[in-house]
Amino acid sequence: MKGAALLAGGLLTWELLSRLGPWPRWLFPGPAAVASSLVAMGADGRLGAAVLRSLGRLAQGYSLSVAIGVPLGVATARSALVRTAVRPVVLGMQALPSICWLPLAILWFGLSEAAILFVVVMGSLLAVAIGTEDAVSSVDPILLRAAGTLGIRGPRFYYGVLLPGALPGVLTGLKLGWSFAWRALMAGELLFVAGGLGQLLQAGRELLDAAQVMGVMVAIVAIGMTVDRVLFRVLELRVRRRWGLVEAAAA
């Protein structure tokens, strides 16, 4: 209730600033103009197509990074050899903003889907791997001992003990990886015209349409928050409840 009032107040201030501010309104459109731009983009199908395209790419790129990142993280946590060889590289590359992969992506893959996917994967893979490694390293050793004495080994150990044991932590890594993937995707989509929200944003800029730029930004924020707050929150809560990490009664 209070939140809604604050939001309304903020929007009103924004609209007033836009209308009465000293700068031209077309450079600083108000919420009404942004909303009508969003509606227009939704009505002629541009927004829907762009969202679908972006989410499709994200699904591909993110699945790829999870498919590589989780085993990589497990390997780093479990093998001293891999740790020594891979860890410094992973940590070093983690410091690299994903946009730095753009030039290499273009050289290797040209202006193609593969280039965008590459940027998304490189942007999120390391966060997933590091998160997984942390989670696996901090699995309660007593569980590993129990698995050892109970004779659980091989794939059953990895899928039945190690990964479930690390799951709450792995989820945190996955969430971080997702937000990195989302950012990297937006950077990658600014690269060249290939549809997607990043492109819609760029188009707004090229047509000097600040309302469209802001509208797309709102859409990007909304999607990012939906996935983060709804999908991951729910998943995390369920896992934490099952694992007994939060009081079941509290929920």
d(C-alpha 133, C-alpha 170), whole Å? 8
Site for other proteins in 206-245 (CB under 8 A): 206-209, 242-244
Binding mask 72-111 for other proteins (x = CB under 8 A): ---x--xx-xx---------------------------xx
Contact pick of 85, 114, 143, 222 for other proteins (by CB under 8 A): 143
Q: Is position 3 an interface residue for other proteins (rule: CB under 8 A)?
A: no
Buried b (16+ CB within 10 A) or exposed e, 56-80: ebbeebbebbbeebbebbbbbbeee
Closest distance between other proteins and the C-beta of residue 112, in Å?
8
Closest distance between other proteins and the C-beta of residue 145, in Å?
6
User: What is the DSSP track for 98-158?
Assistant: GGGGHHHHHHHH-SSHHHHHHHHHHHHHHHHHHHHHHHHHTS-HHHHHHHHHHT--THHHI
3-class secondary-structure state, position 246: coil
Contact pick of 4, 20, 248, 251 for other proteins (by CB under 8 A): 248
Binding mask 33-72 for other proteins (x = CB under 8 A): -----------x----------------------------
| CA distances (Å), origin 194, targets 52, 54, 66, 118, 237 | 12, 10, 24, 15, 36
3-class secondary-structure state, position 188: helix
Residue 129 or 147 with smaller CB distance to other proteins: 147
Taking the alpha carbons of 92, 94, 95, 99 in that order, is the dihedral positive or negative?
positive
Comparing C-alpha atoms, which of 229, 72, 82, 58 is closest to residue 135?
A: 72
Candidate segments 21-29, 61-69, 172-180, 223-231, binder of other proteins by CB under 8 A: 21-29
Closest distance between other proteins and the C-beta of residue 25, in Å?
8
Residue 1 or 107 with smaller CB distance to other proteins: 107
Residues 76, 82 contacting (CB under 8 angstroms): yes
Footprint of other proteins on this chain (CB under 8 A)? 17, 21-28, 44, 75, 78-79, 81-82, 110-111, 141-154, 156-158, 160-162, 164-165, 167, 192-194, 202-203, 205-209, 242-244, 248
